[in-house]
Amino acid sequence: MTDQKLRWGILGAARINQQLMPAIVSAKNSELVAIASRRPGAAAETLSQYAPKQKNVKIYDNPESLLLDKEIQAVYIPLANNEHAQWVIRAIEHGKHVLCEKPMALTVNDIDAIKLAAEKHNVKVMEGFMYRFHPQHAKVKEIIDSDLIGEVRSVRSCFSYMMQPARLYRIANSIENGGGAMWDIGCYAIHAARLPFYDTSPLAVSAMAKHSDSGADISCNGILDFGEGRYAHFDFGFEHARRAEYEIIGTKGGIKCHNVWAKQAETPIISWWTEAGQQEQELLPLANHFCLEIEHFSHCVLNDTKPALSLEDAKLNCLIINSALQSINTGQQINIS
């Protein structure tokens, strides 16, 4: 153990910094050292908006200059989805540890290249699925491991909200360039749907989607086949009332996690039931999963331990997403191998 703080740089003035910047500032083992933006004034403005009390943070007018800063040990990448892979690799080549926003990359080949580079430069890289650091999922795992609900047979994972028309620009990029609901929120629904099956790869996926006028997928339903009658259903989109939940059905009962990609002020609720008549609900304490994610990654770097979310996990999620997109395009079930 060490009481050192990991020195962070942020590689873009993105909206998500509203969450991540305060998380880096408040994480007990982390220090915000710099932020870069390619747009003049944007980095300084982001800093004054989201971390106004941080006085000595360096401002860079391009990401490359930030990467050359030897003081910085780790970078957080909040760039647009189609820029992630190239900047992850550049950061690695500068010897930085990297936490990259989801999705880490749009292709499996890019994740392979990231893995090779990370091994070569001996740095840690993790995909930013912050929700996994919320203690509610450890509680769900504890219930599954206790055998209370028996063997997991089926999962249902939903993430949706009504996107304001003014915000549709966010997903208007082509799907190949990281636009659409799949890359934006579907990646969460699929990641969470896999959770109760641990690291098992699904055998196949079937999916269907509605597309917006710009060609981006806007709502989607799909099924992952984990074999032997075990399925995970994912459902996400921008044309529904807000849902952010998953449900797991086993041979003896079920568990529901009611607010998965929780807004910070939402009380985390887990409920479970058994065929034997047990019916429980637990309200967990509020937790900031962004801050927990930063503390986890900083801890891994400072103590040379493995990040909870591996590059193999990122690769599998990317493979499933691409297979689901292929299923949408072809109308066929796609085998995953």
Ligand X SMILES: NC(=O)c1ccc[n+]([C@@H]2O[C@H](COP(=O)([O-])OP(=O)(O)OC[C@H]3O[C@@H](n4cnc5c(N)ncnc54)[C@H](OP(=O)(O)O)[C@@H]3O)[C@@H](O)[C@H]2O)c1
Least distance in angstroms from the C-beta of 299 to ligand X: 19
Q: Which residue lies nearer to ligand X by CB, 188 or 272?
A: 188
- Is 160 a binder of ligand X (CB under 6 A)? no
284 interacts with ligand X by CB under 6 A: no
38 near ligand X, judged by CB under 6 A = yes
Q: What minimum distance in Å lies between the beta carbon of 18 and ligand X? A: 8
Looking at residues 103 to 122 of the shown chain, list those that interact with ligand X (rule: CB under 6 A).
none
Q: Which of 22, 33, 88, 101 binds ligand X (CB under 6 A)?
A: 101
The binder of ligand X chosen from 26, 44, 54, 80 (CB under 6 A): 80
Using CA atoms, how far apart are residues 289 and 291, in angstroms rounded to an integer? 5
**Using the rule CB under 6 A, is 12 a contact of ligand X?**
yes
Tell me the β-bridge partners of 205: 224, 334
Q: Applying CB under 6 A, does 167 fall inside the site for ligand X? A: no
User: How many residues make contact with ligand X (CB under 6 A)?
Assistant: 19
Nearer to ligand X, 37 or 157 (CB): 37
Interface residue with ligand X among 29, 30, 37, 317 (CB under 6 A) is: 37
Q: What angle separates helix 42-50 from helix 17-26, to the nearest 10 degrees?
A: 60
Minimum CB distance to ligand X, residue 205 (Å): 21
Of 13, 25, 314, 334, the one binding ligand X by CB under 6 A: 13
Q: Min. distance of Cβ 48 from ligand X in angstroms? A: 14
Among 22, 78, 180, 253, binds ligand X (CB under 6 A): 78
Q: In whole angstroms, how close is the CB of 324 to ligand X at the nearest point?
A: 17
Min CB(179)–ligand X separation in Å: 10
- Based on the shown chain and the rule CB under 6 A, indicate whether residue 130 belongs to the binding site for ligand X: yes
Q: How far is the CB of 278 from ligand X (least distance, A)?
A: 34
- Vertex 45, ends 134 and 36: CA angle to 5°? 75
User: Looking at beta carbons only, is 81 or 219 nearer to ligand X?
Assistant: 81
Q: Which residues bind ligand X (CB under 6 A)?
A: 12-16, 37-39, 42, 78-81, 101-102, 128, 130, 170, 184
